[in-house]
Structure 1
Amino acid sequence: MDLTEIFSMAGTVGALSQLKFSEVLMDSQNRSAALFERGRKVIPDGVSSPMRAFAQVGRNPICAVSAKGSRIVDADGRSYVDFLNAFGALLLGHAPDEIVSAISEQAARGPVYGLSTEGEYRLAERIVASTPEIERIRFVCSGTEAVMTAARIARSHTGRNLLLKFRGSYHGHSDALLANPANLLSGAGNAKGVSKGISDQLNRDVLIVEYNDEQEVAAAFETHGASIAAVLVEPHATNMGFVKSKPQFHRLLRELCDQHGALLIFDEVVTGFRFRFGAVCTAFGVKPDLVTFGKIIGGGTPVGAFAGKAEFLDHVALGRNVFQSGTFAANPLTVAAGNAALDLLGKPGFYEALEEKGAFVEGLLRAGFAEHGIPFVVSRHGALLGLAFRDSAEPLLSYRDVKTQDYKLFEQFHIQMREKGFLLPPSLEEPIFLSAAHTHEDLERFAREAVQTLHALRSESVPA
C-alpha cells in the first residue's frame, strides 16, 4: 500500500488519526525528509521561518498536508495531536467549519481589493469595544509590523529614541526590535534573535534588562529615563517558554513610564484574546499606552494590529508624523476569518471551558510529576502551559532562569513525544499552546505520555 492509497482509504484527518505510525508504509526515504531536502535547494534551510527547521530538537521538520480540530497530518500520513497550533495562532484549533465557510464565501467575492470594507470596520469596532484601554486600531499583516509601528509611534510622540525591552523577549524581526546593545544592564547577551545587518546606531538605541527584575528596570530609568521613548513588554513572557509576570511588575513599569514621560507598549500578539475576550491588560488592571495584537484575531490568517488612545493612533493619520502602509492590511480574507473567529470566541462560556481544560491537564501533570518524583515546575495561565526543565521548585522568572534548564533533555523529550504522536513547539523557549479543539482524551493522553517519557529519560540519565 502506497501513501496515495492510505490517503484514499482514510478519507479524512479523523480516519488518519486512527492509523498507527507502523501502519503507514513509506518508501525507503521518509517523504517529509525528502521534501525538506528538495526545499533546501531553493529556500535557505528549507524553511521560510527559522523555527520550522526543528534545528533545536535535532530532527528534520514536519511537512504538513492537512489539519482539522486538534490534529495535524504530515506528508507521511502520520497524525499528531497538535500543541504547536501555529505558534499560538490557532486558539480554536485547525479549520473550524465557521471560519472555513467565511473564508470560502469571501474568496468567491474577491480575496483582495486594495480598498476598505465593512467587515474591516466591524472587526475594528469589536476589538476596540473589547478593551477599554484602547480607542482606535489599525490593521497590518503581522505581529512584526504591529510592534514595529507601535515603537515608531512612541518615538514620534516622545521625540526620544531609546526603547527598553527585556532579555529573551521577541517582538518580531524589524531592525529596531532585533537591536542588541553591546553592553547590557543585565550583563549578558540577549541570546535571542541576534542578527547582523543592524546599524550600530540602532544598537545604541535599545536598552535590555531582565524580565520581572524591578531593580534593573528602576536602575535603567534612573540613568536613562529622560531618553526612553517606550517600554516594550509582554504581559506574560511567551518567548522564553512560559514565564509569568510578577503581580507588581507591570504596575511598576506604568509608574516609571508616567514619572519619566515614556510610553508603555503591551505586546499582546500572543496574549490578546487568549485569556479573555480582548487584551489581557484589562484583567491586569494596567493601562498601556499602546497595545499590539496578532495571531488569534486573524482566525488562522496573516494579521497584526496596533491600538491605543486616539492621541497616539492619530500619529499615523494622513498628514501627521508617522507613515504606515500595506497592500494586504485588513484584506477581506483576514477580516472574514477574524470576524468569524470573534463570533466563536464571544460565545458564552468559551473562556471558562478553556480554563477548565487548562486546569485539567495541569492537575494531571502535577500529580504525575509528584508520583514519579519529577521536580519540574508546571506553570499555566488559561490555555498557555509551560514546563520548567530543571530540578527546582522555584518557577522561572527571567531569561536568566530559563537558561538554567536542561536543553538536551528537552530535545530527547520532544523527539520521543513526536514519535508517540504529539507535536510540541520545537524549542524549550516556546510555550505549550492548548486550544479549544483539544479534547479531554487528548489532554489525558498527553499528560500520561509526558510524565512517563520524562520519568524514563530521567531514570536513564541517573548513573547506576
Structure 2
Amino acid sequence: MRFTTKSANLFMHGRSVMPDGVSSPMRAFAQVGGNPICAAWARGSKIMDVDGNVYIDFLNAFGALLLGHARDEVVEAVSRQASLGTVYGLSTALEYELAEKIVASTPSIDKIRFVCSGTEAVMTAARIARAHTGRSLLVKFGGAYHGHSDALLATPLNLGPAAVKMKGATQGVAEQLNREVLLCEYNDEDQLEALFSAHGPQIAAVLVEPFATNMGFVEPRPGFHARIRALCDRHGALLIFDEVVTGFRFNFGGVCNSLGIDPDLVTFGKIIGGGAPIGAYAGKARYMRHVAVGNRVFQSGTFAANPLTMAAGNAALDVLARPGFYEALDARGSWLEAAIRRQLAARHIPFHFSRHGALAGVAFRDSREPMRSYRDVKTQDYDVFKKVHARLLERGFLMPPSLEEPIFISAAHSLDDLTSLAEALAESIQLSRAERAAADGQPTSAV
C-alpha cells in the first residue's frame, strides 16, 4: 500500500509560501490529480519519496538523467569540485573542456555558449536569428514548448478559432510580441510552405524540435526537416534545432547528425549537464559572433557555466562517449518496445506505441496509427491516462504526470524494470478502460 501523508503535508505547507507549493507547474500533478510526490533520495533507476514509497523512475527529471540518478562518476566529479568552490564568476578549464566535447560532437556547430536553462538557450538563439536577419517573425509548431520566454509564449499571429491552442499561452506578454510568432502544425509541410509564401521576407527563423517531445512523442515524417531546411534557405531564414531534449539522447552529439540536417543554430540542455542545471546555444561562427563583446546581441549570467555543472557535464559525457553506450541504450528501448507491444496485443488494446532510441510514447486513443501533430495528441483519452498514472504509482512506477511527456528510458534501467513496466502499463490501461466503459454504460467486452 502506498502512503502519501508526508508528501501531502509538505505540499500543504509549501502552498503557504509558494504558488501551488511548487517552483515548476508539472510538480503539482494538476493533470493527473492525487497528491504530488516529495522526493527524499534517488539512486540508479529508483527514487524514494518522503513517505518511504520507492518507484522505478521513468520521469528521470523530464529527461535530464540519461545515466539515471546519482551516477558514481558524476557524484565524484561534483563532490570534488564542490570542495574547490561552487561558483567563481570567472571562466574555468572545465568550461572549455565541455565546450570542446560538444563542438567536436556535432559538425553543424562551430562555437557554443553555456547558460543555466533550456529557456535561456532558446531565447538567445531566437535573439541571434532576429539580429542576424533583421527580421522579427519566428515560426514554431503546435504543441511545441521551447521554454517560457515571452517571445515563445506569445499568442501566434495566425492563431484563429480553428487553430490548435498554443501550449503554454500566457497572459503578461506584451501585445506587440503576439504579432511576432507564427504557428504551424508539426509535420505539415504544405502549411509551412503557405506561411513562407505569405510572410517569407519577415521570417527570421523556424524553431523546431527534431523529434517532438513535448506532446508525448511524435516522430517527424520522412523529409519533413529537409523541407524546412530548403524553405529557410530559399527565404533567407535561419533554422534552429531545439535539442534541449534530444541532444546526446540518441547518439553522441545532436540528433541532427543522424538526421543528416545542417541547422544554423542548435540548443542543448538536460543531458549535457549530467543532472545539474544547464542550457547551451551553439551554431555556425557567423551567427555566434553576434554575442561577442561589443557586437549586436547581449547575453549574460552569474551562474552560466558554473563549475559544479561543468564538472557534472564533463563526467556524464565521458560515460556517454564509451564504446557501445548508445547501442546498449537502444537495446533497452527495443526491449521495452517489444514487451509493451506484446502486452498491448495480448489484451487487445488498440493503442499505438512509438519509440526512437531511449525515448518512447503510448498514444492513448483507439488507433494503431502514429500521432503526427498536436491535433492528434489532443484526441487522446486524458481520463484513462489519469487513471493509469494513479495505478502505476500504486504499483511503484513513476511516469511523467502528463500525457504530453514521453517515457524516458535511462542507462540505469534493468531489463526487469522494463519488463515489469510493460506488464503494469498494459494491465493498468486495460483496467482503466474497463472502468471508463462501465461509467459510460458500455459493456466490458467493448474495451
The TM tier, using the shorter chain, reads over 0.9
SS class of match (2:339): helix
Deviations 1:7-42 (A, max 9, x none): xxxxxxxxxxxxxx46xxx7xx70000000000000
Query: Is residue 185–residue 208 contact of structure 1 (8 Å, CA) maintained in 2?
Result: no
Residue 299 (structure 1) aligns with: 274
Matched, 1:57 2:28: no
Trace 1:132-211 onto structure 2 (pairs within 5 A). Answer: 132-181=107-156, 183-184=158-159, 187-211=162-186
Residue 266 (structure 1) aligns with: 241
Query: Is residue 182–residue 189 contact of structure 1 (8 Å, CA) maintained in 2?
Result: no
Q: TM-score, normalized by length of structure 2?
A: 0.97
Shift of 1:241: 0.4
Query: For 2:380 and 2:436, how far apart are their aligned partners in 1?
Result: 15
Choose which of 325, 329, 332 in structure 1 pairs with 2:307: 332
Residue 427 (structure 2) aligns with: 452
Matched, 1:80 2:55: yes
Matched, 1:435 2:389: no
Query: For 1:190 and 1:122, how far apart are their aligned partners in 2?
Result: 42
Matched, 1:219 2:194: yes
Query: Is residue 383–residue 433 contact of structure 1 (8 Å, CA) maintained in 2?
Result: yes
Letter paired with 2:27: R
Query: Is residue 157–residue 182 contact of structure 2 (8 Å, CA) maintained in 1?
Result: no
Query: For 1:205 and 1:214, how far apart are their aligned partners in 2?
Result: 21
Query: For 1:380 and 1:169, how far apart are their aligned partners in 2?
Result: 18
Query: Is residue 185–residue 220 contact of structure 1 (8 Å, CA) maintained in 2?
Result: no
Alignment: residue pair count: 439
Shift of 1:457: 1.9
Residue 278 (structure 1) aligns with: 253
Residue 12 (structure 2) aligns with: 37
Choose which of 381, 384, 401 in structure 1 pairs with 2:376: 401
Residue 81 (structure 2) aligns with: 106
Shift of 1:459: 2.6
Letter paired with 1:457: S
Query: Is residue 185–residue 216 contact of structure 1 (8 Å, CA) maintained in 2?
Result: no
Query: For 2:157 and 2:24, how far apart are their aligned partners in 1?
Result: 26
SS class of match (2:282): strand
Letter paired with 2:153: L
Letter paired with 2:257: T
Deviations 1:441-462 (A, max 9, x none): 1001100111111122223333
Residue 231 (structure 2) aligns with: 256
In the alignment, structure 2 segments of 5+ residues that lack a partner are none
Matched, 1:67 2:67: no
Shift of 1:117: 0.5
Query: For 2:416 and 2:343, how far apart are their aligned partners in 1?
Result: 16
Residue 296 (structure 2) aligns with: 321
Distance 1:186 1:311, change over 3 A: farther
Shift of 1:181: 2.4
Query: Is residue 384–residue 434 contact of structure 1 (8 Å, CA) maintained in 2?
Result: yes
SS class of match (1:119): helix
Query: For 1:79 and 1:88, how far apart are their aligned partners in 2?
Result: 19
Shift of 1:182: 5.7
Residue 418 (structure 1) aligns with: 393
Matched, 1:348 2:323: yes
Query: Is residue 190–residue 208 contact of structure 1 (8 Å, CA) maintained in 2?
Result: no
Letter paired with 2:320: L
Letter paired with 2:116: C
SS class of match (2:428): helix
Shift of 1:200: 1.1
Cα RMSD (Å) of the superposition?
A: 1.1
Choose which of 95, 103, 119 in structure 2 pairs with 1:128: 103
Deviations 1:269-322 (A, max 9, x none): 000000000000011001000000000000000000000010000100011000
Letter paired with 2:75: V
Shift of 1:327: 0.5
Shift of 1:189: 4.3
Letter paired with 2:396: G
In the alignment, structure 1 segments of 5+ residues that lack a partner are 1-20
Q: TM-score, normalized by length of structure 1?
A: 0.93
Shift of 1:186: 8.9
Choose which of 359, 367, 383 in structure 1 pairs with 2:358: 383
Deviations 1:231-270 (A, max 9, x none): 0000000000000011210000000000000000000000
Query: Is residue 265–residue 281 contact of structure 2 (8 Å, CA) maintained in 1?
Result: yes
Query: For 1:361 and 1:181, how far apart are their aligned partners in 2?
Result: 38
Letter paired with 2:42: A
